Amino acid sequence: SIESGAYVELGRALAALGRADEARDAWLQSLAILGPASEARGSDHLVSVATTLLHLGRVDEARPITDTLLRRGYRQPEFMALARSSGLLAR
């Protein structure tokens, strides 16, 4: 959703400013809006959940979602870079 995406971007901005606690709060708010991921959901929803989890450092939770996206052929460069920097993909 647009609202969850806004919280992800707010979190990124706050993290860049060194305001880690506030960034975490923004990402948690994004997750609350998105709800759980499931393979039945569309790729856009899964990307949003995985991205938010990766920003929170919750790599183990993001791994199966990322695997689903890759199986679907999802290769958006920004997401791939985040997954790679989080250790989900080979460098």
Per-residue pLDDT tens for 39-88?
667 888 899 999 999 999 999 999 999 999 999 999 999 999 999 999 98
pLDDT of the residue at 3: 87
- Confidence check: pLDDT of 38 > 90: no
Distances (CA, A) of 89 to 17, 25, 79, 82, 84: 27, 26, 11, 9, 5
Complete DSSP assignment for 44-67 = HHHHHHHHHHHHTT-HHHHHHHHH
- Judged by DSSP in three states, 74 sits in coil
Read off the pLDDT of each residue in 3-19 and give the average, rounded to a whole number. 93
The answer to whether the beta carbons of residues 43 and 69 sit under 8 Å apart is yes
Q: Please state the length of the chain.
A: 91
Distance (Å, rounded) from C-alpha 26 to C-alpha 42? 23
pLDDT of the residue at 37: 74
Read off the pLDDT of each residue in 4-12 and give the average, rounded to a whole number. 91
- Confidence check: pLDDT of 24 > 90: yes
